[in-house]
Structure 1
Amino acid sequence: MNKSEPLVWNKLLSEFQACTQLQYSGKLDIKNTEGQTWTFFYRLGRIVWATGGDQPLRRWYRQMARYCPELNIQKIQLRMEDISKDYWDYRLLANLYKTEQIQREQIKAIVDNTIAEVLFDAIQQANLASVSCDRNQATALEVLFSSTGVDMSMKLMQDSWQTWLETGLEHISPNLAPILKQPEQLQHQVSASTYKNFVTLLNGKSTLRDLAVKMKQSVLPLTRSLFPYIQNGTIELIQVPDLPLQVSGTQKTALPSIKSTAPLIACVDDSPQVCQMLEGILLSHGLRCVKIEDSVQALPILIQSKPELIFLDLVMPVANGYEICGQLRRTSMLADTPVIILTSSDGVFDRVRAKVAGCTDFITKPIVANKVIATIEKYLQAPSLKQD
């Protein structure tokens, strides 16, 4: 274990132990200074469900694909009312069980492995930033399925984390996606069949955990096998957004009513996924949104729509975020509009260059709802925005 881990681990461990000893019922939120939150639901001192992090939908779909392969998860229609609570994923499992689409044994496996994943992510990310723990007894989860005891869950997670450390993967999150950066170099290092598999699978769209499920193996040996190529730069690990939310036709009636006077927020990003995610966050908080995926058309659309705040991707083809930000600052009607840079990099050089171009602030990808809303409230000096 690294030097910073014992302090963080002891803090989290003591909180988990206290919840168990007090026979606590409610939820425990673990937050780090980067804005990430992991939530553990307790019932009489037992962890019965866990959620949170940056990729809850991706995690839910992955667990379903792993333990319920007979179920066509693409046909599962999610409604806004299904995801209006922070344990929406648990409620969906309950609905599938009540309609006899999945069995109790499958749900137990999903519950146990979801708790294990969230525990792992919380301890890994907590080592990169300080954490706080908050209990809330007002949120009680109706327990429908049993889970592995807290002691066993913690033991499994601790063993998994220790093995991850010993393998040298301390700073590698299993939620990152591998992408080939030097295919020509790789072609000379592996067999033709292995190279073909690499090209097919390592496209920057599936995380290490996603790939492990597709390849029907554990994420540890998979990551360990890719590690040499990551070290020599042949493969790069990148952050990816959560899977887009596909909702049924009830979305319009379930969303808050949006007044024409509500703040208009622009999203300029060549990724349709990022634009869709931001739109979902904004609409669910009663805000208006204009999506711009073509960087060339960004300036004229922004001048026409006159948004009150702009989220701007840094890396785009033809016209990048630096250039667009500079153009905005030279346009009188948008010169003072807050421009929030969306970036996958947290490098000092990028921040300095963007500040010179006139940006207001930064948000590091993947997009997290609470960061987006906190930024809007900060720069528009708005009261707390409407929640679902």
Structure 2
Amino acid sequence: MITTTKPTTARFFKHLIRLIPQQFSGKVELQNTDGQTWQLYFDRGCITWANGGSSSWRRWRRNFTQFCPFISLETLSFYTHDVCESWQYYIVNILLKQEKISLSQAISIINNTLVEVLFDLIQQDNLDTLQITSVTCHLQAEMKQPISRLSIYEAFEKVKPIWQAWYEANLHNYSPNLALVLNKPELLEQQISALTYKKLQILISKKLTLRDLAFYLNQDLLRLTKIFMNYVSQEIIQLTNVPDIPALSVLKIDPLKSQTKEIQTQNSQFPETTIKSQKKLVVCIDDCPIINKIMGKFITKRGYQFIGIQKSTLAVPTLIEIQPDLIFLDIEMPIANGYEICSQLRRIPHLKNTPIVIITGRGSIIDRVRAQFVGCSEFMNKPVSSEKIEEIFHKYLYLANPKTEISVVGSLVPASC
């Protein structure tokens, strides 16, 4: 993004004040020359919520995970007949009413979202070209009684220091919604350690934005971006746009038949029956989608429920919520490895005795000792056979129908994953 004029917070908010009628309540939608849209929601002249841009769901999931780390979106169900103005705001609002999150958590999600959206609007190359495509005074129920309200001045004070530091670091041409692309891997490998290079390769392959990386690495966004910019200036790394992650899909069911409306994650392997069924629940945590697919087919065929978790950062909050009966856990995963996850789970009272089977392509004595040290129940080398999985089931789950014919799959888990 190349700026033609110096974008400042003061200039943006003056522009915003000119757009908004005094004591306005409703929605203002802005659109830039590239067709991107943003929605700003107001209550009596104060900002209550913001949405839109190129990373709307990516931003929302990141903020939700940051402030509500022990709630897994994959396990949530809501019962309502309301038509939603903004599903992202609606989910926060419902969780607050259900007392699943605190007021401070809800406000943190909202305020952090507001800051990011307003930052992105300030960074637009020409504020005067932002077109108002609609100004709506009528809002749906979930927006009429806002969780929090910020005056335009308060919003200005929150965004100003963040944007000013970004601008003074000469980063105003670079959006924090950009992702890294490894342009000259051989040069990068020469400049950093082998371990750091391997980790960076994994992170880059995930197509995470700068904001995502700062969150997952627990680093300050500005500081981390400055480090990467050293490699960008050498053309070792490039910054590029990436698509948004899939939105939560909303399954609308006829209220006369079910009286429910459920929110589920797209492509989630967590069906409605997982909550309601009394079947044993088995979880596999592995960033390899092939393993999760194979394990899922085998486990469900044996009569158990199955959930596959690919993102290691979602593992602990998801497991706290669903409380599985058996966990298969891979060691080698980015950001949080199997040892770290196992150690965290053993510190959670209702999971400290849950069987955890560590699976890995490595089988040294050191690996086995470390696995036992963090509290794993079993240690299995890849490739894992169906017979070994059956032994685990008999040992920890007590098959409901042990006479059922056993289907031998051979090497269940590929050693390459």
* TM class by smaller structure: 0.5 to 0.7
What is the match of residue 131 of structure 2?
132
Write the distance in 2 (CA, Å) between the matches of 1:206 and 1:146: 30
Q: Is the 8 A contact 1:28 1:40 kept in 2?
A: yes
CA 1:31–1:246 in structure 2 vs 1: closer, same or farther (change >3 Å)?
closer
What is the match of residue 6 of structure 2?
5
What is the match of residue 75 of structure 1?
75
Q: Once the two structures are superposed, what CA deviation does each residue of 1:56-100 show, in whole Å capped at 9, x if it has no partner?
A: 111110111111111112334699988x64422111101111222
**How well do the aligned residues superpose, as a CA RMSD in angstroms?**
3.1
What is the match of residue 312 of structure 2?
none
Aligned runs of 1:1-388 on 2, under 5 Å?
Answer: 4-5=5-6, 12-18=12-18, 22-76=22-76, 85-127=84-126, 130-133=129-132, 134-139=134-139, 141-247=143-249, 250=251
SS at match of 2:191: coil
Give the count of matched residue pairs.
253
Q: Is the 8 A contact 2:3 2:125 kept in 1?
A: no
CA 1:2–1:181 in structure 2 vs 1: closer, same or farther (change >3 Å)?
closer
CA 1:183–1:38 in structure 2 vs 1: closer, same or farther (change >3 Å)?
same
CA 1:232–1:26 in structure 2 vs 1: closer, same or farther (change >3 Å)?
same
> Normalised by the size of structure 1, how large is the TM-score?
0.58
User: Alpha-carbon deviation of 1:50?
Assistant: 0.5
User: Alpha-carbon deviation of 1:253?
Assistant: 7.0
Gaps of 5+ in 2: 256-266, 268-417
Write the distance in 2 (CA, Å) between the matches of 1:127 and 1:176: 19
CA 1:96–1:105 in structure 2 vs 1: closer, same or farther (change >3 Å)?
same
Write the distance in 2 (CA, Å) between the matches of 1:73 and 1:176: 25
Structure with greater Cα Rg: 2
SS at match of 2:34: coil
Write the distance in 2 (CA, Å) between the matches of 1:87 and 1:54: 16
User: Alpha-carbon deviation of 1:238?
Assistant: 2.0
> Normalised by the size of structure 2, how large is the TM-score?
0.54
Write the distance in 2 (CA, Å) between the matches of 1:49 and 1:36: 18
Percent of aligned pairs with the same residue?
33
Write the distance in 1 (CA, Å) between the matches of 2:111 and 2:90: 16
Gaps of 5+ in 1: 255-275, 277-388
SS at match of 1:66: helix
Q: What amino acid is the match of 2:30?
A: I
Q: What amino acid is the match of 1:221?
A: R
SS at match of 2:177: coil
SS at match of 1:5: coil
SS at match of 1:39: strand
User: Alpha-carbon deviation of 1:188?
Assistant: 0.8
SS at match of 1:4: coil
Q: Is the 8 A contact 1:25 1:43 kept in 2?
A: yes
CA 1:2–1:37 in structure 2 vs 1: closer, same or farther (change >3 Å)?
closer
Write the distance in 1 (CA, Å) between the matches of 2:80 and 2:99: 22
CA 1:202–1:77 in structure 2 vs 1: closer, same or farther (change >3 Å)?
farther
CA 1:21–1:27 in structure 2 vs 1: closer, same or farther (change >3 Å)?
closer
